[in-house]
Amino acid sequence: MKEEKQIWYLYILRCGDNTLYTGITVDVEKRFAAHSAGRGAKYTRGRGPLELVYRERCGTHSDALKREWIVKSMNRHQKEKMIGQADIP
């Protein structure tokens, strides 16, 4: 039986101090819950409340890492424009 590949996602959180945090994961909801509970990235601890403002399906882990690098290279205005065009359920 062939092993199923996991789908990776890029996500952006808006922190309580209005900064943006970008990360990747295979389970956005679980990772967001970890961030919200203070078990996520060191950057997001103490910066709540957190809001999930963007998610994007990337495919493989490698694809997600490449996309994360691109998004982290964007300036604030570019990220806000991308977030504004998102359709987050």
Mean pLDDT of 47-75: 97
What are 36-46's pLDDT values in tens digits?
Answer: 999 989 999 99
Sign of CA dihedral 85, 82, 86, 50: negative
Tell me the pLDDT band of 34, cut-offs 50, 70 and 90.
Answer: very high
Residue 35 in tokens: 């961030």
Residue 3: what pLDDT? Answer: 53
Percent of the chain with pLDDT strictly greater than 90:
87
Tell me the pLDDT band of 84, cut-offs 50, 70 and 90.
Answer: very high
> CA–CA separation, 65 vs 59, rounded Å?
10
Q: Given its phi and psi angles, is residue 61 left (phi above 0), alpha (psi -120 to 50 degrees) or beta? A: alpha
pTM for the whole structure: 0.91
Residue 78: what pLDDT? Answer: 97
